[in-house]
Structure 1
Amino acid sequence: MTVLDQRLSEEPAVVLNGPRTVGKSTLLHRLADRLGRSVIDCDDPATRAAVRSDPGRFAGGPSPVLIDEYQHVPELLDAIKAELNRDLSPGRYVLAGSTRYATVPQAGQALTGRVDLMDVLPLSQAEIDGQAGDFLVHRLLGDEGMPSGSTPSVTSRDEYARRITSGGMPVALRRPPGKSRSRWFANYVELVIDRDVVELSRVRQREMLPRLLSVLAARSGQVLNVAATAEAVGMEKTSAENYIRLLEAVFLVQRLPAWGTTLGSRVTRQPKSHLVDAGVMAWLTGLTPEKIAKNDPSTLTEYGHLVETFAVGEILKQVSWWDGPVSVGHFRTAAAEEVDLVLERDDGAVIAFEIKAGTRVARSDLAGIRALRERIGDRLIASVVLYTGALTFTYEDGTVVMPLDALWTNQP
């Protein structure tokens, strides 16, 4: 609760933004219990109707006013704006929503400059394990240096596969692996598409959305080619672009923008796409620990993309906890030299992450990091390759190779 408390002490309105079922409502109700407030739940049809009939009444309660699934009644934002025009004191509103704030009708013009967005994402591995402390991404962003990695990792290949295919959705994790969890993922995707996507926009080809999501899952971790994706689904390009934006709006898909586009004409300007949760991606692509263990080459290729999506998600979760601006993106040249994830602090310092699903890292795997270093020099303050091997070691250029579990285990 400390990050939220800090934001409430500084900002008049805070929006908790993230996928369904990740814990936004739980966080809101805990805050309500602690402060002796009630939560206005717009997911409830009767409450929604009452709020829609008189949004000003519900926006005018004692601070903080706590509203869950506010996107169902976008008229609330105008009522909140009117209240904030009279009083911009910190801590007046906490809103929670399962639709990206910028995509909600009226959001853009209503509270510009008056709302602080907090991402509430699927559980990280550290949260699942109950770990707390100084994690790798925060150490690098804070110039605390790289952990020594003197203790070899004990995470096995099978354990990585189990963690990665499970993802971070709390309700799914409470289900046993297998049919029960698979049913949950199927119901979750159907619910989000049928309720949240359809509420956002009149979708003429609703039946195409699951097919489009499956194609995006199969291409997660790759440069987004909308035309090729549309062709694979059997849609027009403009329709596919619009539908991809809808899937982004409900936190099923996220784009990772191209980074470094000002560094030269030979730097790719296209974004990558990733599924927000690796568990959803694994279910959509049919990847299970048992299937991965068979070492079929085509399965291992798919698993490589899944590992990248998983690791990018873990890093971005830690970035979302960092109290400071961080730009994120991927770097790729026309010669296909790439860095999977680039973080840039507001002082221009850059941290590069390359992700490998294998247990070995060769010098050739550093081509993207070398290309990035050639272009930005000393701005690159840390370069890390995460892999599923056990040992930590450093190449002569300073690139550190670390076990993937360094993202969620505390090391000296």
Structure 2
Amino acid sequence: MYIERTLEGFLKKAAGQFPVTLVTGPRQVGKTTILQHLSKDERTYVTLDDPTLATLAREEPSLFLQRFKPPVLIDEIQYAPELLPHIKMAVDKERKNGMFWLTGSQQFQLMQGVTESLAGRVGIVNLLGLSLKELQHHAGKAVPFLPTEKQLQDRLKISSSLSLQDIYRVIWRGSYPALALNDKADRDLFYRSYIQTYLQRDIRDLANVGDEGTFLKFLRATAARTGQLLNMSDMARDADVSVTTAKRWLSILEASGIIYLL
């Protein structure tokens, strides 16, 4: 089942304004799903989760782009940043909007390459999990929030009333589509698998974090402080790491969309 996303209209505008559109965000929030929905089978889809294709993209980027020509959707671009300069050359040669749609599940290395290679050529959109309006199928009516009396009244008119139990359930299960759209999905199993994938693929391979066990301890210390004032010394002490390491790891969590600092 596909749920309309609030960012659909913005994505269409970005695709009509820039040669490259990049959708970033945490894993499994629906980046590929929304782009495939909007493309309507009108562009080639290729994922760099495929080790063979990722190797081709890294070692022979020109050949890769000859094989997968625009309009194309390239999933998980962070696995082959070598493609970015070649995408720039392809864009500069043709300069046509909507040529490349890209997704990236983490930002701590990806964004540096994007800003260096695609400045002025790329529209960047950050997608998060399902909002309450999206879950209530009101995404098309969503507008930027302003704390005015009129807007609050308008929001009440289109919002479905939720019991306190329903609100706690939404908070407890989270906003990942795999859980939010499937009541039978095992929450604990999902998050255990998610953390394992996150540790193995994004942290170990891309962020060069050597001690996975200590990082997991730090992740738990961070989760325990949700909604609280940030105290780096306390977090570092609980995770048994230096404050410098805690700051670096916290920036990794923020860049990969696991946490949001308010």
Q: TM-score if structure 2 supplies the norm length?
A: 0.85
Q: Judging changes above 3 Å, is the alpha-carbon distance between structure 1 residues 80 and 151 closer, same or farther for their aligned structure 2 residues?
A: closer
Residues 11 and 154 of structure 1, relative CA distance in 2, 3 Å threshold: closer
1:239 is matched with 245
Aligned mates of 1:45, 1:129 — CA distance in 2: 38
Tell me if 1:131 matches 2:135: no
Which residue does the alignment assign to 1:167?
174
2:45 maps to 1:2: no
- Helix, strand or coil at the partner of 1:71: helix
After TM superposition, give the deviation of residue 175 of structure 1 in Å. Answer: 4.6
> Which protein shows a greater Rg?
1
CA distance in 1: counterparts of 2:179 and 2:162, whole angstroms: 22
Q: Give 1:51's match in structure 2, choosing from 45, 51, 57.
A: 57
SS at match of 2:125: strand
Matches within 5 A, 1:11-410: 11-35=18-42, 37-59=43-65, 61-100=68-107, 103-104=110-111, 106-135=113-142, 138=144, 140=146, 145-147=151-153, 154-176=161-183, 180-256=186-262
Deviation at 1:25, TM superposition (A): 1.6
Q: What RMSD, in angstroms, separates the aligned Cα atoms of the two structures?
A: 2.8
Cα deviation code 1:118-150 (max 9, x no counterpart): 112111122122224434x53628996441658
C-alpha offsets along residues 29-59 of structure 1, whole Å, 9 cap, x if unaligned? 3344431x22121011111112122112333
1:177, distance to aligned residue in structure 2 (A):
6.3
Q: Is the 8 A contact 2:78 2:109 kept in 1?
A: no
What is the number of residues matched between the two proteins? 253
Mark the runs of 5 or more structure 2 residues left unpaired by the alignment. 1-7
> Contact 1:20 / 1:98 at 8 angstroms: preserved in 2?
yes
Shift in alpha-carbon separation, 1:139–1:191, aligned structure 2, 3 A:
closer
Tell me the secondary structure at the aligned position of residue 83 of structure 1.
helix
- The 1:132–1:241 alpha-carbon spacing in structure 2 relative to 1, beyond 3 Å, is closer
Find the aligned partners of 2:158 and 2:113 in 1 and give their Cα distance: 52
Higher mean displacement: 199-208 or 57-66: 57-66
Give the counterpart letter for 1:8 in structure 2. A
**Alignment partner, residue 396 of structure 1:** none
Report the AA paired with residue 91 of structure 1: G
> Hey, what's the Cα distance between the residues in 1 that align with 2:158 and 2:151?
17
Q: In the TM superposition, what is the alpha-carbon distance from 1:103 to its structure 2 partner?
A: 4.6
Equivalent-residue separation in structure 2 for 1:151 and 1:95 (angstroms): 33
Counterpart amino acid of residue 156 in structure 1: S
CA contact (8 A) 2:133 2:159 kept: no
SS of 1:34's partner is coil
Equivalent residue, structure 1, for 2:3: none
Instruction: Provide the rounded CA distance (Å) in 2 between the counterparts of 1:21 and 1:186.
Output: 14
Query: How far, CA to CA, are the matches of 2:170 and 2:252 in structure 1?
Result: 28
Cα distance in 1 between the residues matched to 2:171 and 2:194: 18
Residue 109 of structure 1 aligns to which amino acid in structure 2?
Answer: E
Deviation at 1:13, TM superposition (A): 0.9
Displacement of 1:114 in angstroms is 2.1
Q: Distance in 1 between matches of 2:51 and 2:31?
A: 19
Contact 1:7 1:116 in 2 (8 A): yes
Contact 2:204 / 2:210 at 8 angstroms: preserved in 1?
no
Residue type at the aligned position of 2:226: S
2:15 and 2:123 in contact (8 A); partners too: no
What is the TM-score of this pair, normalised by structure 1?
A: 0.56
Decide whether aligned partners of structure 1 residues 163 and 191 sit closer, same or farther in structure 2, where only a CA change above 3 A counts: same
Q: In terms of mean alpha carbon deviation, does 60-69 or 232-241 score higher?
A: 60-69
Write the distance in 2 (CA, Å) between the matches of 1:75 and 1:142.
47
- The one-letter amino acid paired with 1:9 is G
In structure 2, C-alpha distance between the alignment counterparts of 1:134 and 1:31, rounded to whole Å: 18
Three-state SS of the structure 2 residue aligned to 1:183 is helix
Q: Provide closer, same or farther for how the CA distance between residues 144 and 93 of structure 1 changes in structure 2, counting only shifts above 3 A.
A: farther
Matched position secondary structure for 1:66: strand
CA distance in 2, matches of 1:131, 1:109: 37
Report the AA paired with residue 204 of structure 1. G
